[in-house]
Structure 1
Amino acid sequence: MIPSHWFRRIILIVFIMEVAGGILWVTGRLSTNPAAKPMTQALGSLIFLFGFYASAPLSARFLAPRPSRDAVLQERLARIVATVPDSRPVFLYDHADKEANTVGLLPSHSRIYVTTGLLASMSDEGMRGVIAHENAHVHERHIFATFTYACCFAVSSHLLDNNNFFFAAFLLFLGIRRYCEYRADAGAAQSVGREAMLTALRELAVLYPSKSWVRWFSFANAYPTLAMRMRAVETGRKALL
């Protein structure tokens, strides 16, 4: 979820929970045959997931309704985006958090959101790496890959009665998410140069310093650490766990 005012985030979360509850109630009412209940619930999960991912651009517009009015930052961002090959539209909005996010199930509907806090805290070279990284997510359809996996997991969890399945599915999820991050870094390095991507990761490491104990729990994180990502860009070797 992209950074926004806490009240807007609460409204969106409550709305999503209400929609999910409504779909669960409807599927429960439709499954009069106990034998058909798992399949009906799996269908309801697919409907919810499609709506959740497909409506992400609308959710993002609700969370960040207005672009930043800082003309200096807007002009600077436009210059940076112009140097990134085949970039998707980049939306700059006012927020103190230092983040960049991509929304959109398909590349043609994708949009990149950047906070003024991040843009003001990074160099032009570092922002080139960040935007190229987000664009790589779009061009390689990583959001669609995550959606596909979520659908497979939802259907399988309803049809399979096996506790070991959830553990295996969790490990696979970690692998997919980390693979996508490494692929986005590699794509960005190919698009704007390895040094630009490394500059972005180094500046992010300064903005978000890692605690010494984080490495002991990194295996349970869906994202590789910044140090792992820098090492992968420098050497080409990726560590999924």
Structure 2
Amino acid sequence: MIRTVVLMAAMTALFMGLGALLGGATGAVIALAIAGAMNLFAFWNSDKAVLRMTGARPVDARSALDLVRLVQDLSDRAGLPHPAVYVIETAQPNAFATGRSPSHAAVAVTTGLMQALSREELAGVIAHELAHIRHRDTLTMTVTATMAGAISMLANFALFFGGNDRERPGGVIGTIALMILAPLAAGLVQMAISRSREYEADRIGAEICGQPLWLAQALQKIEALARRVVNPAAERNPAMAHLFIINPLNGQGADNLFATHPSTANRVAALMQMAGREPVAAPALRSGIPRAGQRRGAAPWR
């Protein structure tokens, strides 16, 4: 909660600064009012906004019995309330969790993920997302995505409506500076989510599902496939990239200053070290959950 409050305060200050650059003192006041409204919206409704932006659709036991059962099984293992389950229609394998608290959380997976992974690998991915929920990372992650999107909106507004106003504070130079700094600010906002949280979610997720290698194998598959498949929703809203288990944007590199995720190779190495150091017996998942791609009457994941 403290982390979220600090993030909201920093984002409000940044929003006011951009507003002042656009419209002086009046612009700063207007930006403060907008930022206040955005903060309230982000806290209570940002999860719904993110799910809409990704095109996620809710599923239940009637429409996706096996997937919902798997999420509920792992939630029970983690000692969490059952989150809502969503599916995103995209060929890129990926997943994310969202929500302001464990009792108001959701897990979203792509159709590409369900087609590419085995049952065990999918369990590792879902366990990772449940780890984010248990540690309440999802609130900060979702608020970040919402506020970063607002900054991008303000930058676009300046580009299209303020570029020729020489009387505006900063003039043309201010507009150019805004065009340069706004994308940079969006990158820094994404970095407000510590990459160490991904390592921690990997570790806790491995403990939840009982097998670190399940998640390690899933990460390797997702990394290889995600680079070759475009995620249209993520490309339209790059501020959401840090929500996903693997960066959904093309061209993601290894660890660097502006990376939203740790290197996948480093994450896999940590999981393999964990498996070697702490060997555990694989827990039995609920019977009747087929491996991805197998059919049992109707399609298992739809």
Task: Decide: shared fold, TM above 0.5.
Answer: yes
User: Which residue pairs with 2:197 in the alignment?
Assistant: 180
Structure 1: any 5+ residue segments left out of the alignment? 1-22, 155-165, 237-241
Q: Give the corresponding residue for 1:132.
A: 127
Query: What residue number does 1:107 align with?
Result: 102
- RMSD after superposition: 4.3
TM-score by length of 2: 0.50
Q: How many residues align?
A: 195
Is 1:51 the counterpart of 2:41 in the alignment? yes
Aligned counterparts of 2:145 and 2:52: Cα–Cα separation in 1: 24
Q: Who is 2:261 aligned against? A: 223
Rounded to whole Å, the distance in 2 between the matches of 1:113 and 1:235 is 28
**Per-residue deviation at 1:145?**
3.5
- 2:93 equivalent in structure 1: 98
Q: 1:196 aligns with which of 214, 217, 221?
A: 214
Q: Which amino acid aligns with 1:54?
A: W
Q: 1:94 to 1:105 in 2, by over 3 A?
A: same
> How far is 1:169 from its partner?
11
Task: Tell me if structure 2 keeps the 8 A contact 1:185–1:197.
Answer: yes
How far apart, CA to CA, are the structure 2 residues paired with 1:168 and 1:56? 20
TM-score (norm 1): 0.61
SS of 2:91 mapped into structure 1: coil
Shift in Å, 1:187: 1.1
Alignment correspondent of 1:14: none
Paired letter, 1:231: A
Are residues 174 and 234 of structure 1, via their aligned partners in 2, closer, same or farther at CA, if it must alter by over 3 Å?
A: farther
Name which of 127, 133, 142 aligns with 2:137.
142
Q: Is the 8 A contact 1:189 1:197 kept in 2?
A: yes
- Identical positions, percent: 25
Q: Following the alignment from structure 2 to structure 1, what is the Cα–Cα distance between the partners of residues 126 and 109?
A: 9
Distance 2:191 2:111 in 1: 30
Question: Deviation of residue 219 (structure 1)?
Answer: 3.1
Distance 1:47 1:198, change over 3 A: same
Q: What is the Cα deviation at residue 91 of structure 1? A: 2.1
- Cα 1:176–1:232, aligned 2, differ >3 Å: closer, same or farther? farther
Taking the aligned partners of 1:199 and 1:52, their CA distance within structure 2 comes to 34
Letter of the 2:204 partner, please give it.
Answer: G
Q: Within 1, Cα distance between the matches of 2:192 and 2:269?
A: 17
Structure having greater relative contact order (Cα 8 Å, sep ≥ 6)? 2
* 1:208 paired to 2:226: yes
Where does structure 2 lack aligned partners over 5 or more consecutive residues?
Answer: 1-14, 151-181, 229-250, 275-302
Spell out, residue by residue over 1:204-231, the C-alpha distance to the aligned partner (whole angstroms, 9 max, x if none): 2332359xx9656733211112112112
Contact 2:92 2:226 in 1 (8 A): no
How big is the shift at 1:46? 3.6
Question: Aligned pair in 2 of structure 1 residues 225, 46: CA closer, same or farther (>3 Å)?
Answer: farther
**Using a 3 Å threshold, how does the CA distance of structure 1 residues 66 and 170 change in structure 2: closer, same or farther?**
closer
Cα-to-partner distance string for 1:163-210 (whole Å, 9 max, x where unaligned) = xxx999976963733022111111101111212222222222332359
Alpha-carbon separation, structure 2, partners of 1:94 and 1:148 = 24
Whose helix proportion is higher, 1 or 2?
1
**Letter aligned with residue 131 of structure 2:** A
